[in-house]
Amino acid sequence: MSLRPDSLWSPDPSANDDVARLERLLQVYRHVPAEGVVWTPVRRTPRRRWRLPVGIAAMMATAAMLLVAAWLPWRLAWSDGAAWRVSGVARIDALPVGGALATAADEHARIDVARIGSIEVSPGSRVTLLETRAGRHRIALDSGHIRARIWAPPGYFGVLGAASEVVDLGCEFDLWTSADGRGRMSVRSGWVLHSVGGQDTLVPAGYDIGFEALRAGIPRSIAASAQFGAAVDRIDVQLARGLRDADAERRVATLATAADAVTLLSLLTRYPALADGPLYPRLATLLEVPATDARHRAAWAAGSAHAIDAWWDRVPRPPKQWWRHWRDALG
């Protein structure tokens, strides 16, 4: 039995006219080696691959886990009333309980919050250490500005004002306040809880909140437009007086973007009756939930915590594993 030559592999002239035509067309692209060049195969030096034996890798992982297990309790532990270390000002290097640190107009100071973080104190500010022990550290910002960076379980660190408290939930934030209790907070990472007069407000990263001595405003995105912010403030102020402003509600619903979802949630949570207006369907769109659930809407308007929480659960919340904000431990 004889096999018919395959023109793809045999240099012999092909009996197939189509293949022969292709060979003629492609011939101009053939490789012609330079005269006298002898081709030799390229020798490649095999790369040495470093591989740890499985046993050694397991031992290293175990050692790292033991190191973290020993380091974490040490970081969170603190003797009752032990002073905090201060740097940046020549006249004081430690802040005891009951002691105050006041920076001059040209001074910056850094305070170590036990071993769980740090506070940067801006010029013209006054900070008082109220309490410090394992699991609870509290200061008062009497006036001025601080930036706190904390790596600890929620509630370990807090800042008291005239009648309010800012409670860290594992984050970094800026806080400004004046002697009359007015101020502003901006959250850089994580979440912060602002409490005043029995009113609790969650503020996530990327949001600001203004406050007075006896009440807080509505948190809003740092990217929010001035028009949006003014309309939100008007709704809040009017409703605090028992009044509704339909024009402001429509303006907020029109201007709200995906970055403003927490603002709408906060408004509707503080004033559930707003659910019968344009904010409810707009928030539903931003959260990608049905706006046509009449029972849910009615329950919200009636102040149902279950209905309200169902939509809060659509927003990324502070992680239960607070240690996942490990970058804050590097401050």
**Distance separating alpha carbons of residues 266 and 291, to the nearest angstrom:** 18
Which pLDDT belongs to residue 331? 45
Which pLDDT belongs to residue 51? 59
Structure tokens of 220?
A: 């809003």
Positions of CATH 2.60.120.1440 in the chain: 80-217
3-state secondary structure of 147: strand
126 contacts 142 by C-beta, under 8 angstroms:
yes
The pLDDT profile of the chain, 331 residues, written as one tens digit per residue, is 444 555 544 555 555 555 555 455 555 445 555 555 555 555 655 555 555 566 665 665 565 555 555 556 777 899 999 999 999 987 899 999 999 999 999 999 999 999 999 999 999 999 999 999 999 999 999 999 999 999 899 999 999 988 889 999 878 999 999 988 899 999 999 999 999 988 899 999 999 999 998 899 999 999 999 999 999 999 999 999 999 999 999 999 999 999 999 999 999 999 999 999 999 999 999 999 999 999 999 999 999 999 999 999 998 766 544 444 434 444 4
The CATH class that applies to domain 80-217 reads mainly beta
**Distance separating alpha carbons of residues 285 and 228, to the nearest angstrom:** 18
pTM: 0.74
Check residue 153 and report its DSSP letter.
S
Which pLDDT belongs to residue 163? 81
CB atoms within 10 A of CB 316: 9
Residue 26: C-alpha distances to residues 11, 20, 149, 291, 306 (Å): 14, 10, 69, 65, 75
Residue whose pair of structure tokens reads 């992680």 in the numeric block: 319
Rounded to the nearest 10°, the torsion over CA 180, 186, 189, 190 is: 60
Residue 326: C-alpha distances to residues 3, 117, 172, 188, 211 (Å): 71, 11, 12, 14, 29
**Distance separating alpha carbons of residues 122 and 134, to the nearest angstrom:** 27
